[in-house]
């Protein structure tokens, strides 16, 4: 069987007016005496460019714009928003994320909030939902300016009313990345974010709310290990995808301090 003189690629370029004038003339000249070529062109051009453009254009109006805009606006003011680890978690988080109001304490104070679709009573559940959105990428690019750590700590203390320390956890393979003020049901919440040498995000959180003293306890939420306790009336927790044994050692060190 004889090879067609013009390829489909050439013919689609002809139909889209993307070929050279010379090629256009050659195709048109050949099509006059070649019914098969004419048929092939008609097949490609049957749904014209304008129809395709209009079809795609009409699709823009079907976008669920209100929901998407709300989502974007609620994420927007921070460049450090935690990415979603998996698609499933992503969907969960979009609907579930607790009423956490977040302020990144750095050069300037930025606040943003995660809207709540579902009320979450337990602050540790809320933190766990938030934490599971973190990935290595969330923290990896954050450069810690050691000279500003003192100022950052003072801001956190002032805003939370808690005597916050930035724990040096290098011996546990954890590098301090940042401190944030969040808010849970009207109570200030401090989150200290660390990144492990294996790329696991870990957070230590303190809630500025009075509760009865409690020794450390172990929990597991959303695939993350948690050790939590109450000291000086303030609930605290450490959370991450690292062994409980390591977490309890870290908490012991914090409680000693």
Q: Which residues bind another protein (CB under 8 A)?
A: 8-9, 11-13, 15-16, 18, 43-47, 49, 51-65, 67-69, 71-73, 75-84, 86-88, 90-91, 94, 137-138, 141
Task: Give the integer Cα–Cα distance in Å for 8 and 52.
Answer: 18
- Output the smallest distance, CB 114 to another protein, in A: 12
Contact 171, 153 (CB under 8 A): no
- Output the smallest distance, CB 82 to another protein, in A: 8
Contact 181, 105 (CB under 8 A): yes
- Output the smallest distance, CB 64 to another protein, in A: 6
Contact 237, 226 (CB under 8 A): yes
Smaller CB distance to another protein: residue 57 or 158?
57
Smaller CB distance to another protein: residue 19 or 207?
19
- Output the smallest distance, CB 27 to another protein, in A: 13
Task: Give the integer Cα–Cα distance in Å for 244 and 225.
Answer: 6
Tally of CA atoms within 13 A in the half-sphere of 73 that contains its CB? 7
Smaller CB distance to another protein: residue 86 or 211?
86
Q: Which two tokens stand for residue 28?
A: 């048109």
Smaller CB distance to another protein: residue 27 or 238?
27
The 10 Å CB-count burial string (b at 16+, else e) for 235-255 is bbbbbbbbeeebbeebbeebe
Q: In what order do the strands lie in the sheet with 201-207?
A: 109-114, 100-105, 174-184, 187-196, 201-207, 234-240, 224-231, 214-221
Smaller CB distance to another protein: residue 95 or 150?
95
- Output the smallest distance, CB 255 to another protein, in A: 34
């Amino acid at each position: 069987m004889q090879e067609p003189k013009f390829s489909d690629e050439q013919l689609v370029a002809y139909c889209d007016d993307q070929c050279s004038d010379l090629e256009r003339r050659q195709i048109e000249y050949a099509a006059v005496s070649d019914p098969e070529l004419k048929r092939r062109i008609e097949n490609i051009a049957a749904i014209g460019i304008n129809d395709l453009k209009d079809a795609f254009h009409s699709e823009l109006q079907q976008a669920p714009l209100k929901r998407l805009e709300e989502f974007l606006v609620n994420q927007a003011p921070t460049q450090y928003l935690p990415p979603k680890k998996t698609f499933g978690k992503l969907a969960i988080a979009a609907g579930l994320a607790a009423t956490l109001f977040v302020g990144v304490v750095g050069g300037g104070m930025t606040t943003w909030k995660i809207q709540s679709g579902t009320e979450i009573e337990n602050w540790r559940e809320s933190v766990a939902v938030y934490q599971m959105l973190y990935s290595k990428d969330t923290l990896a690019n954050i450069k810690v300016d050691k000279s500003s750590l003192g100022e950052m700590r003072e801001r956190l203390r002032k805003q939370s009313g808690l005597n916050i320390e930035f724990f040096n956890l290098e011996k546990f393979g954890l590098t301090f990345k940042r401190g944030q003020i969040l808010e849970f049901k009207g109570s200030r919440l401090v989150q200290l974010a660390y990144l492990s040498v294996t790329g696991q995000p870990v957070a230590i959180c303190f809630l500025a709310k009075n509760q009865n003293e409690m020794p450390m306890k172990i929990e597991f939420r959303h695939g993350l290990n948690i050790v939590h306790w109450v000291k000086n009336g303030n609930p605290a927790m450490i959370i991450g995808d690292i062994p409980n044994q390591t977490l309890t050692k870290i908490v012991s060190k914090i409680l000693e301090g």
